[in-house]
Amino acid sequence: MKAYTAILTLLVGIFVALLLTRTDLAATVTRFRGMTYQEREGGMVSNLYEVTFINKTFQEQAIALQPEDPTLRLEVVGDQRWVLGEQSKFEGRFFLVREQEAISRNQEDVVLLLLQNGEVIDRLKTSFVGPVKRTEP
C-alpha cells in the first residue's frame, strides 16, 4: 500500500511539473520542400520557409519572427500580421532574403527570434541555402 502511494505521489508530481514548465506557444520553421533557393534581381537570394505556430493559451497572441542576423530580411507571404486565436494552430509562409555577396557558404545556419506580443520568447534554428559567388583571380 505504501509503495502504491509513493508511486502515485511521484506520478502526480511529474504531471504537475510538466504542466508548470509547458510553453504557451510552440513554433516550427522548415525550409519549403523541393526548393533550394531563388535568385532575385539586384543580386539578392531568397529561400522559402513554412512556419507552424500553436497557441496553447486562452488568450489571443500577436506573434512575429525576426532574423537575428541583420544581413537577412524576412518577407511574409500573405497576411503581414500574425495573430493566433486562443488554443489555435496557424500555418504560414515567408521568405528570408540576403544579398548574394553576403553568402560565404552554400548552406548556413540562421537563427530566427520568435516574438510574442513584442517580447522575444524563443530562438528558432534553420538553414539558409544559396550560391557562393566565386571571386576572379
Residue 122: which CATH number?
2.60.40.10
Domain for residue 118, yes or no?
yes
Give residue 26's pLDDT band: very low, low, confident or very high (50, 70, 90).
Answer: confident
To the nearest whole number, what is the mean pLDDT of the chain? Answer: 88
- Among the listed residues 78, 80, 81, 28, the one whose alpha carbon sits nearest the alpha carbon of residue 53: 28
Domain for residue 104, yes or no?
yes
pLDDT digits (tens, 9 = 90+) for 109-132: 999 999 887 788 889 999 999 888
| Least confident interval from 6-10, 63-67, 77-81, 95-99 | 77-81
Domain for residue 2, yes or no?
no
Q: How many Å apart are CA 61 and CA 88, to the nearest integer?
A: 10
pLDDT reported for residue 97: 95
Domain for residue 135, yes or no?
no
Tally of domains within the chain = 1
pLDDT at 136 exceeding the cut of 60: no
Give residue 44's pLDDT band: very low, low, confident or very high (50, 70, 90).
Answer: very high
Helix (H), strand (E) at residue 16: helix 2-21
Domain for residue 34, yes or no?
yes
Domain for residue 18, yes or no?
no
Beta strands (DSSP E) in 7-118 are 25-31, 38-40, 44-55, 61-67, 72-77, 82-84, 89-99, 107-116
In this prediction, residues 56-60 reach a mean pLDDT of 88
Domain for residue 136, yes or no?
no
Q: Which domain holds residue 56?
A: 24-129
Domain for residue 4, yes or no?
no
pTM score of the predicted model: 0.78
pLDDT at 135 exceeding the cut of 80: no
pLDDT at 98 exceeding the cut of 90: yes
pLDDT at 137 exceeding the cut of 60: no
Of residues 45 and 133, the one with the higher pLDDT is 45
pLDDT reported for residue 134: 67
